[in-house]
């Protein structure tokens, strides 16, 4: 296997030990579907994986931002933001980040008797675009719960809980319309402000322009900016920054992520800019904020 560029700024990953994977293969519940590796790579510049020897795991990649590509069975596929794909087990493949606009990805290797079912029709890139009833933020939180549970150790209960969560996670993608309709009363389609705020939350890991937010609700930039500020008291982009820092505070409160990892999770690549923005909004640096939590 050829593997280039390890160690991306803000990356997180867990590789389950072989002895644990062997136990999962035999567990009555987890053997149906279980994770072997999981991670998050923000702006994964020069990321390149070539597996000439097939592996016995399925490879799930969810591109949140940027672009990439993959090759399998002699076919090449381009991947863009808000798309995912699943590479089948047992077939050599190659995938990589785009040279000019490298992807930010959530990725999972998985196995199990039900793995082929969840991988059906997922070989081609599938879009999960933010819209009025999308629940992308909820799915990201689900990923984080899976990651955090595995990070807490490999007790049988932890592993079985992760397997159950992962069924839900993949189900939210395979049955995306039903997943969205199950919560379709949370957004009022006629309320452009609520829809815009929802759109911001669904794209918290990206950098959005005023034009992108305005187009999401079908308004011109100037008109939308005017009604948004009148209703909320902040410009759309300033409010988007408030949401980003709110998310950063939540991550500082509830996880052990490093500050350099958190800034990528809210779509800010420059840790110094993140620190300045956080200090401006919160009145203290992220590091000082973290210290107040310990007190």
Pair 286, 275: CB distance under 8 Å: yes
pTM over the 0.75 mark: yes
CATH of the domain at 24: 2.60.120.10
CB atoms within 10 A of CB 287: 12
Please tell me whether residues 13 and 123 are part of one structural domain: yes
223 within domain boundaries: yes
Tokens 């030990």 locate to: 17
pLDDT of 183 over the 70 cut: no
Please tell me whether residues 121 and 225 are part of one structural domain: no
Last residue of a domain, one of 107, 128, 149: 128
Last residue of a domain, one of 111, 128, 145: 128
148 within domain boundaries: no
Q: In the numeric block, which tokens belong to residue 156?
A: 């049988």
Please tell me whether residues 121 and 229 are part of one structural domain: no
Could you tell me what percent of the chain has a pLDDT over 70?
93
11 within domain boundaries: yes
Contact residues for 124 (Cβ-Cβ < 8 A; gap 6+) = 77, 85
pLDDT per residue over 64-121, tens digit each? 999 999 999 999 999 999 999 999 999 999 999 999 999 999 999 999 999 999 999 9
28 within domain boundaries: yes
pLDDT of 172 over the 50 cut: yes
Q: Judging by DSSP bridges, how do beta strands 104-111 and 12-15 pair with one another?
A: unpaired
60 within domain boundaries: yes
140 within domain boundaries: no
pLDDT per residue over 108-167, tens digit each? 999 999 999 999 999 999 998 877 777 888 889 999 999 999 999 999 999 999 999 999
Which of residues 33 and 10 earns the better pLDDT score?
33
Report the domain count for the chain: 2
Q: Judging by DSSP bridges, how do beta strands 83-87 and 58-65 pair with one another?
A: antiparallel
Residue numbers of the domain that contains 12: 2-128
pLDDT of 9 over the 90 cut: no
């Amino acid at each position: 296997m050829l593997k280039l560029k390890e160690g991306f700024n803000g990356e997180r990953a867990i590789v389950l030990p072989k002895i644990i994977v062997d136990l999962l293969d035999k567990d009555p519940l987890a053997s149906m579907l279980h994770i072997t590796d999981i991670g998050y790579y923000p702006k994964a510049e020069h990321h390149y994986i070539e597996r000439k020897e097939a592996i016995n795991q399925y490879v799930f990649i969810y591109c949140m931002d940027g672009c990439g590509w993959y090759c399998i069975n002699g076919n090449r596929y381009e991947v863009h933001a808000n798309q995912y794909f699943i590479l089948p087990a047992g077939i050599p493949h190659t995938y990589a980040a785009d040279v000019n606009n490298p992807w930010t990805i959530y990725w999972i290797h998985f196995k199990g008797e039900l793995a082929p079912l969840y991988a059906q029709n997922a070989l081609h890139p599938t879009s999960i675009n933010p819209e009025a009833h999308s629940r992308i933020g909820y799915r990201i939180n689900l990923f984080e719960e899976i990651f955090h549970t595995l990070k807490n150790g490999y007790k049988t209960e932890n592993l079985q809980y992760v397997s159950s969560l992962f069924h839900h996670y993949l189900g939210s993608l395979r049955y995306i319309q039903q997943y969205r309709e199950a919560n379709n009363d949370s957004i009022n389609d006629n309320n452009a402000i609520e829809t815009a705020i929802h759109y911001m939350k669904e794209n918290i890991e990206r950098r959005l322009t005023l034009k992108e937010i305005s187009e999401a609700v079908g308004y011109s930039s100037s008109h939308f900016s005017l009604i948004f500020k009148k209703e909320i008291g902040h410009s759309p982009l300033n409010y988007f920054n408030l949401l980003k820092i709110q998310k950063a505070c939540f991550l500082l409160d509830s996880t052990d992520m490093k500050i350099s990892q958190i800034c990528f999770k809210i779509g800010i690549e420059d840790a110094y800019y993140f620190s300045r923005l956080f200090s401006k909004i919160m009145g203290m640096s992220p590091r000082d904020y973290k210290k107040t939590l310990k007190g």
